[in-house]
Each structure stands twice: as structure tokens, then as C-alpha cells.
Amino acid sequence: MNQPMDKPAKTDEDSEQEIDFLNGSSLGSKSEPGPPIAPRTLDFMEKVEREIEEEVRKKRAQGAFPPAFERRLKRIFEQLVPPGAGNSRRDFEALLRSSDRAAYFDIDVPIASQKPGVARLKKLLRVTQAWYLNYLAQQLNNFSTNLMRLLYVFDARVKTLEETMDSATRIRPGGEFLKPYYPNIIEMEDRIADAIKDASGRVLLADCGNGYLVLKLKERGVDCYGVDSFGDEFETPYQSGLDLRWQDLSEHLLEIANGSLSAVVIQGSIDLITAQEKLNLLSGAKRVLEPRGALAVISVDPDFFDRSPDLAIQRDLSPGRPFAPETLLHVLDRLGFSRVSTEVIGSVHLTLGRLGNVDKVESSKRR
């Protein structure tokens, strides 16, 4: 059966780990094998899941779920998550304090009971075994105390390391202070449409802004949707009813199954993140593309980035800067893209690549 495009396919191991987690076990442990799920039940569950995703897609297209509303709802949910349940610095510190409180072992067990004579029997057992329990508790408490001291020292060293890292102290693209650089997409609308004209499936447009390019490609018959890490543009979209999502692109790619998209167009935030994050992003884009999928990268010219007064905020706050076109050509070539090319359009470079079996990779630079 066809897997949903926006969600990775579940393996048997993933299902086992999910059952372990729901049963209260760690994700690394193995649970007792349960009864097999009947094929008819699995088919029904997949059918219901597809119907839910299709209904959400229709509601997005109708404008019932504005991206800004979805983002606010997600933030409210994150605020209501109990401390220690997430992965933030605040959650880690809350979990560390909770572990510290639970690190002491007390041998003074309760003896109260409503049954006649049981309380006296419990007291007798506690008195007669106190020497033995106290011996064990002293060793456990010494170990747990040293372990908690080690965790606090480790936490302090990691925190110092995080604070001294330049990339960690910079502002991440898409936050309150730093928005991606949106090039003049009108100048390259025809070139992008021509690059993905053979796309038979869904097309992802990264940092789509107010959705102008999403609309223009849909008018050309392209099944496309947009993702933006900044999202303020979603408050006044170019046209209502577009499938626009407010999410970090790297996070969004992790939610997509392998080979689910026909084309990916990347722009904006990729110019502002670190070199390693750029490589991870391009690798993720390759993973979600179908065997002959197309990739288009719109990147600001490095010289323009360094001297433009309109990009002073991006230069000061962002952890990275744009790749040179030669670097993008090199990276896409090493990732396995063929027919890689780049051209200058105003102050940006449009780099194109396509997956597929081509005997000779044609890497050219048109000026």
C-alpha cells in the first residue's frame, strides 16, 4: 500500500519500540512479543491514517488551519508539557533536580496497617533487618551521591562549552530576531518552473514567504506546498487556501518518507546556517527525493551578502554565511546529483541538480 508522503514509513522495529515506550519501557529495551496484528486490522489502521491526513490537507487548502494558528497552538502545547519531558535546557535542569531528590535511599519503611497484628509484625521485621538494610542503603547512598555530583560537574562543563561555542551563541534563522533573506522570486519564477516541469508528484518550497511562488506553480499545475521557518509572512498570505506550514525545514524533512517528493526548492535559511547544517539539509533533501527528483537551491551571492547594507542584521546575527556557487556545485556532485549547473540571476545564484543514472555528470557554470 502507498505510504503517506509527509510521514516516514514505519518498520516492524519502530512498532516494537513504540509499544515498549507505551508500556513504560525505554526505547532501547525489548518487550515480550505480543499477539500479531491481523492484516485486516493493519489495513484498516492505515486507511484511517490516510483519511485523517487527507482531511487535514483539505482543511489547510480551505484556509481552516492558518499556519500562524498552528504555530501558536504548538507553542501553547509546548508550554503545557511538564518540565523534564522535553529536550530543552530547562527540561534537563528540572530532570536533574528531580533525580537529585530521588537519589537518597531511606530504610525507615512504613509499618502502618489496618489489619490486626500486621503493623506489629512489620515493626518487628524492620527492627530485625535494620542492620542489613542500613548496610545496603549506605553503599547505595554513597554511590548515588557521587553519581549526582558527577552529573552536576558534567552539566557545568557542557554548559560552559555551549556558551563558548560561537555557533551556539548566534541567533538561529526563523527566530524572533533573525528572518531568512527572501530574494526577488519573480525574477526566477520561470527558471524554477522550467527546472521542475517534469515533476509528477509533490514539490516542496522552502522558506516560501507569503506563498507567492506556491501559488504561481499551482497555477501551472504543480502539486506544491510551502514551508517557512520565520512565518510572519503567513499572517498576510499572498492568497488564502494555500498549503503553507510554519516549521523549520530540517525538522520538516525528518518527517517525510524516503523518495516521497518529486522536487525540492531551497532558499532563505540555508544561507544563514552553519556549514555542517547546510550539508545535513542538502543530504536530507536528497533522501526525500524520488529516483529522478530535482533539487533547486537559490543562494545569495557571497560578495553581495558581505557588502549589502540590507543584510547587516543577517551578517551580525547568523551563525553562517552563503556557500559560493563552486562549493554548492561540489557538494551536489559529491551527493550524487547529476546535470548540476548554476547561473547568476541578479544578486543570487540558482543551482540545479537532478538525481538519476547519468553516465557523465555535467557540471557547468553559466555567467
Q: Is the pTM of this model over 0.75?
A: no
> Residues 231, 309, 207, CA angle at the centre, nearest 5°?
20
The pLDDT tens digits of the residues spanning 288-313 come to 999 999 999 999 999 999 999 999 98
Tell me the domain boundaries of the chain: 103-164, 185-366
pLDDT at 296 (0 to 100): 94
Smallest CA-to-CA distance from 252 within 230, 278, 275, 284 is with 284
Mean pLDDT of 52-74: 73
- Give the confidence band of 23 by pLDDT, cuts at 50, 70, 90: very low
Per the CATH hierarchy, to which homologous superfamily does domain 185-366 belong? Vaccinia Virus protein VP39 (3.40.50.150)
pLDDT at 50 (0 to 100): 84
The pLDDT tens digits of the residues spanning 66-114 come to 666 666 777 777 666 665 556 667 777 777 887 888 777 777 777 888 8
The pLDDT tens digits of the residues spanning 195-223 come to 888 888 999 999 888 888 999 999 998 99
Q: Do 223 and 204 contact (CB within 8 A), yes or no?
A: no
